[in-house]
Homo-oligomer: A and B are copies of this chain.
């Protein structure tokens, strides 16, 4: 009953905090929004159903396609269900509680996050199951986690461990915090030599599991890792590593490490190899307790016009669908100093630039979109986009250039309130992010 009440309380908090987002004032904090909307609430502005091109929005402005977002949310729900996977989409991509809520409505088990600050955001919006795909040895953060677990029996929290010293630091911090519930941990298996975090050998995994077993403050609930860091990844190498991961789960199960659990967690899966994850996880033999096969892809929400366009597994399994790039960054041409050069007002503050530059796709002038033929973004300053034009380009000062972006994680994080835009330009909502 206590757990039920806490869960109800948490669901109530989620609904209340999401509703409160629509009561936030539109003001100078949020770039791109119409200056003449100053003082309206987000909800009031959304109710006006303004047009992105004609109703006072200023450039640069990032637009998230309502239809494409919906498509992507639905596709990954279907994909996960079809493959018998639980889904904890990586929330670090968007850090948008409204999107977390839509992911949960579409059947997500919970939300994956990367650092404790992100857990605080999710908890503030009532997320009940959080998978922290990272090590956590910060005493202050662990004290806060212990408090959350204590206050809300229905809060499920899982994080990585990959070292005996890390286990000792966790245990010390949780003891110091007088933690009343153990923190659930999974041993992270590293994706190979030179890869990111994670234990390098199965022998070390055993040592760490032993250390966890010896700590009252921790509970071993499974194994996990990130195949996206497999060195020189090929489908074969990724599968080989995933098979190591699932074999580790089997070995731990045989060693009776999961005897007291209701379920074992086996987790992997970024946005580049979830087909391999689905295949290998489907082969996990029956263990002594049910297995929660947890996929963690995050970039699918907005998808992109670059990095993940090339890497998405749907390129290999087109029969299962296709994600649609949902972001378009609109910038205005402010300068056209030569026939070969143009400059927009969107720079590093506005567009992802860590993997690829923005891709000029359309030019908007006088209410009409046309292809951005001969228009190429060649660089970004802090607040300018450098554009090269060929003789066939028709690009003038004042034109809006619509650009595709590469890498959702470094696109979302440059915008705190993102217009959700329908195909005809109507803005129906605003997505708040917390970075």
Task: List A residues at the B interface (Cβ < 8 Å).
Answer: 27-29, 31-32, 34-36, 56-60, 92, 114-117, 120-121, 123-124, 134-138, 140-141, 143-144, 162-163, 165-166, 169, 190, 194, 196-200, 332, 334-338, 341, 343, 345, 348-349, 353-354, 381-384, 386, 396-398, 409-410, 413-414, 416, 434-435
Contact of A198 among B59, B60, B332, B337 (CB under 8 A): B337
Q: How far is the CB of A341 from chain B (nearest CB, A)?
A: 8
Determine the distance from Cα of A414 to Cα of B413 in the docked complex, in whole angstroms: 8
Please classify the interface of chain A as helix (H, G, I), strand (E, B), loop, or mixed, using the class held by over half of its residues: loop
Determine the distance from Cα of A32 to Cα of B118 in the docked complex, in whole angstroms: 11
Return the 5 tightest CB-CB contacts between A and B, nearest first.
Answer: A35-B144, A197-B335, A114-B383, A31-B117, A135-B334
Q: Could you pull out 20 A-B pairs where Cβ atoms are within 8 angstroms?
A: A28-B117, A28-B124, A31-B117, A34-B140, A35-B120, A35-B144, A58-B116, A92-B382, A114-B382, A115-B383, A134-B345, A134-B384, A138-B332, A165-B336, A165-B398, A190-B337, A196-B386, A200-B337, A348-B354, A349-B409
Contact of A137 among B120, B349, B397 (CB under 8 A): B397
Contact of A199 among B134, B136, B197, B337 (CB under 8 A): B337
Q: Most chain-B CB neighbours within 10 Å: which of A143, A169, A197, A386?
A: A197
The residue of chain B having its C-beta at the shortest distance from the C-beta of A120 within the complex is: B28
Q: Apart from A58-B117, A196-B335, A348-B410, list 6 A-B contacts with CB within 8 A.
A: A28-B434, A134-B383, A166-B334, A166-B398, A196-B386, A353-B354
Contact of A136 among B92, B334, B413 (CB under 8 A): B334
**In the complex where A115-B345, A383-B114 touch, is A162 in contact with B335 (Cβ < 8 A)?**
yes
